[in-house]
Amino acid sequence: MGLLRIRNMTKNFGGVKAVDSFNCNVQEGRTQAIIGPNGAGKTTIFNLITGIYKPSEGEIEFDGKTITGHAPHQIARQGIARTFQNIRLFPDFSVLENIQAADHLRSSYSLFHGFLPTPLRRRQEQASRAHALELLHLVGLEQRFGERARNLPYGHQRRLEIARALALEPKILLLDEPAAGMNPEETQGLMVLIQQIKDQFHLTILLIEHHMELVMGLCDFITVIDFGKEIAEGTPEQIQANPQVIQAYLGVEE
């Protein structure tokens, strides 16, 4: 039994089958990747897992429970957090406020406490701020907590989005092309950060990435898809030597 199990998942958009009977089993504690050519359906799979889309067919189980068709906020509360291929921060919020916005999903005070400055609300607000500052320290942004998110350099925005996802205290973290747009130095720093996050929080990580150095350097297991269907899975060494994978990426037979 994996922490996340996807069975025969299909997603149709009109006459287009974006995901075709996809199967995947993510074991707890792994760093696992889904890779494939552009347009293979990778981000659609993340959108299905996190409830942005509902599957046309198939089932998704997380931590032993079916989450197929659940709303995004319900899935987030169960322990699945994600980043996006195109960064989705609150650009006019401060760096700190971006993390606190996610942290509020875990708040336990009622609507009554939300309208009035009760002791419970004050305690939770203080705890939220402290938690957010800890996460900013982890990703190296604690000195920029008061800046607007839009003013951060691109690589720092990527790190802020990861910190915001961690504010949900997930069991599994989904990273959608976290190294996109980064230079080699930023990518190396990101690899170190992802490994640190996994070790510190005992997380399971599922990522989509085109940067093969990052995939091969971080991942224990890889699933390869093409035209929405898995064509191979295995260790990095097995994937690198797989003829189907080489054909999918290069369009040639070995």
Q: Phi and psi dihedrals of 153, rounded to 5?
A: -60, 160
Beta bridge partners of 34: 208, 223
Reduce the DSSP state of residue 172 to 3 states and report it.
strand
Q: Burial-class residue 102 by CB neighbours within 10 Å (0-12, 13-18, 19+).
A: buried
pLDDT tens for each residue of 180-221: 989 999 999 999 999 999 999 999 999 999 998 999 999 999
- Using CA atoms, how far apart are residues 208 and 239, in angstroms rounded to an integer? 15
Q: In what order do the strands lie in the sheet with 31-35?
A: 80-82, 172-176, 204-208, 31-35, 221-226, 229-234
Looking at residue 124, its pLDDT comes to 75
Q: Is the pLDDT of residue 138 over 90?
A: yes
- At 148-192, the pLDDT tens digits run 999 999 999 999 999 999 999 999 999 999 999 899 999 999 999
Domains and CATH numbers, the chain: 4-79+170-250 (3.40.50.300), 91-156 (no CATH)
DSSP string, 68-90: TT--HHHHHHHTEEE--SS----
**Length of the chain (residues):** 254
DSSP labels, 193-246: HHHHHHHHHT-EEEEE-S-HHHHHHH-SEEEEEETTEEEEEE-HHHHHT-HHHH
